[in-house]
């Protein structure tokens, strides 16, 4: 039977993600209209697009009486996800989606946001929103030139493999090549696998070719990335990591160029869409899991196995704090980041209008 998702799933690894709006975006026209572009690395059906970028653009236009419009490009339509910060800096795109694992140098503290999973993406989104409003994450985002509009999350990750059988955890990781980036990669390594840093758009081909044994991902990625076609084995109830923080943001320069009424539109819609994107992920997550029942062998992770993975995750977090301190001179900041994340473990769900208002 499926592990209940109303239980806090504990510390975990994979990164999560950051989305940014460029300070190099187009200036307002003579009539005051602002036309923006956005880039996402996922296909149109992915919740980041179907429940995020597309309806968000419509609501921004409606709330500003058409003064602000957004033209969206999914599937890396304006450039690869790994080049996101460069594209934002040089004005290739006004907005873009990325994950913090691709930008460890610019956002070193945000990497730890991948080391936690909650009962579902919706609660994770609330936690990530609250995280974004606090230091040291708030200061780091601003220092990187980003004002977050949305801070959201995906659901807890499972292990998906092609021909590699899963009959025990964490033994299923031992000696295998598993796609996992950032902190998630460190956790996978600590569990005995060799992590690879393939982008999400490469997972399907790499698994089909047998170049990797599997990937860590949420169930929602099955239809979004067609992973159901190359997955024969999966865990259920591993729930020991999440892709972490996903940020939809705007450059500090661009933010400061907006009038206060327009900023309020982004602030208000930001909370709402932080939740809506996550709710879309949860719906797709449950649908994909149900569809997988007849298609693949699903291994139910026991409480004892889950605790064993969590113990490994905590070890990785402790090592991350020490390493970040010794290599970057940020030990106090890294510990503060880990403490903020730990403080959100038992967060209680609240209506979105009761979330902390944007502090930006």
The tokens describing 247, both together, are: 């940020």
Mean pLDDT of the chain: 87
Residue 24 to residues 21, 31, 67, 173, 216, Cα–Cα distance (Å): 9, 20, 18, 43, 35
Alpha helix (H) residue ranges in the chain: 47-48, 54-63, 84-90, 121-132, 137-143, 182-190, 203-209, 221-225, 252-257, 260-292, 303-328, 331-343
Pairing of strands 246-251, 297-300: unpaired
- Asked which of 4-13, 98-107, 274-283 is least confident by mean pLDDT, the reply is 4-13
| Predicted pLDDT at 29 | 58
Domain that holds residue 71: 16-110+120-153+247-288
| Predicted pLDDT at 30 | 52
Residue 293 falls within a domain, yes or no? no
Residue 162 falls within a domain, yes or no? no
| Predicted pLDDT at 4 | 34
Q: What's the pLDDT band for 152 if we cut at 50, 70, 90?
A: very high
pTM of the model: 0.85
Average pLDDT of the segment spanning 69-92: 88
Sign of the dihedral through C-alpha 222, 225, 226, 231: negative
Does position 143 have pLDDT exceeding 70, yes or no? Answer: yes
> For the residues of 237-258, what is the DSSP string, one character each?
S----B---EEEEEEHHHHHHS
Residue 24 falls within a domain, yes or no? yes
Residue 130 falls within a domain, yes or no? yes
Residue 311 falls within a domain, yes or no? no
The tokens describing 214, both together, are: 């599997």
* Count of domains for the chain: 1
Q: What's the pLDDT band for 27 if we cut at 50, 70, 90?
A: low
Quick: pLDDT tens for 84-102.
878 877 888 888 888 887 8
Query: Taking the CB of residue 24, how many other CB atoms lie within 10 A of it?
Result: 15
Residue 43 falls within a domain, yes or no? yes
The tokens describing 38, both together, are: 């956005």
Which residue in the block uniquely carries the two structure tokens 């569990």?
A: 191
Helix, strand, coil % over all residues of the chain, rounded to 5:
45, 20, 35
The tokens describing 143, both together, are: 């220092």
Percent of the chain with pLDDT over 90: 65
Residue 34 falls within a domain, yes or no? yes
Backbone φ, ψ for residue 159 (5° rounding): -105, 125
Per the rule left: phi > 0, alpha: psi between -120 and 50, beta: everything else, 296 is beta
Q: 292: closest CA among 207, 205, 224, 231?
A: 231
- Asked which of 10-24, 78-92, 319-333 is least confident by mean pLDDT, the reply is 10-24
Quick: pLDDT tens for 283-325.
999 999 999 998 999 999 999 999 999 999 999 999 999 999 9
Residue 51 falls within a domain, yes or no? yes
Check which CATH number belongs to the domain holding 45 and give it: 3.40.190.170
Q: Which residues of 188-216 are buried (b: 16+ CB within 10 A; e: fewer)?
A: bbbbebebbebbbebbbebbeeeebbbbb
Does position 64 have pLDDT exceeding 50, yes or no? Answer: yes
CA distance 220 to 246: 15
- Asked which of 18-22, 72-76, 78-82 is least confident by mean pLDDT, the reply is 18-22
């Amino acid at each position: 039977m499926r592990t209940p998702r109303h239980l806090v799933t504990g510390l975990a690894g994979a990164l999560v993600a950051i989305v940014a709006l460029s300070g190099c975006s187009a200036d307002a026209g003579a009539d005051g209209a602002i036309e923006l572009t956005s880039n996402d690395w996922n296909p149109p059906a992915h919740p980041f697009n179907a429940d995020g970028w597309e309806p968000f653009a419509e609501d921004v236009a409606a709330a500003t009486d058409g003064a602000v419009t957004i033209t969206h490009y999914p599937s890396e339509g304006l450039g690869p996800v790994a080049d996101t910060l460069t594209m934002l800096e040089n004005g290739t795109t006004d907005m873009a989606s990325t994950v913090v694992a691709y930008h460890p140098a610019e956002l070193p503290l945000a990497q730890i946001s991948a080391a936690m999973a909650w009962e579902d993406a919706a609660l994770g989104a609330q936690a990530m929103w609250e995280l974004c409003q606090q230091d040291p994450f708030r200061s780091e985002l601003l220092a990187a030139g980003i004002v977050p509009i949305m801070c959201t999350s995906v659901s807890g990750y499972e292990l998906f493999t092609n021909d590699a059988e899963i009959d025990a955890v964490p033994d299923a990781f031992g000696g295998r090549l598993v796609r996992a980036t950032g902190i998630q990669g460190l956790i996978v390594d600590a569990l005995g696998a060799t992590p690879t840093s393939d982008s999400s758009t490469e997972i399907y081909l790499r698994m089909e070719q047998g170049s990797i044994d599997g990937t860590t991902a949420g169930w929602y990625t099955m239809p979004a990335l067609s992973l159901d076609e190359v997955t024969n084995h999966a865990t259920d109830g591993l729930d020991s990591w999440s892709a972490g923080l996903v940020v939809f943001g705007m450059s500090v320069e661009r933010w400061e160029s907006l009038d206060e009424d327009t900023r309020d539109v982004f602030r208000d819609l930001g909370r709402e869409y932080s939740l809506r994107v996550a709710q879309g992920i949860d719906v797709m997550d449950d649908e994909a899991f149900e569809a997988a029942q007849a298609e693949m062998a699903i291994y139910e992770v026991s409480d004892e196995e889950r605790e064993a993975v969590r113990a490994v995750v905590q070890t990785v977090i402790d090592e991350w704090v020490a390493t970040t301190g010794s290599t970057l001179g940020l030990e106090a900041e890294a510990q503060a980041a880990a403490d903020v994340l730990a403080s959100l473990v038992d967060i209680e769900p609240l209506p979105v209008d009761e979330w902390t208002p944007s502090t930006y």
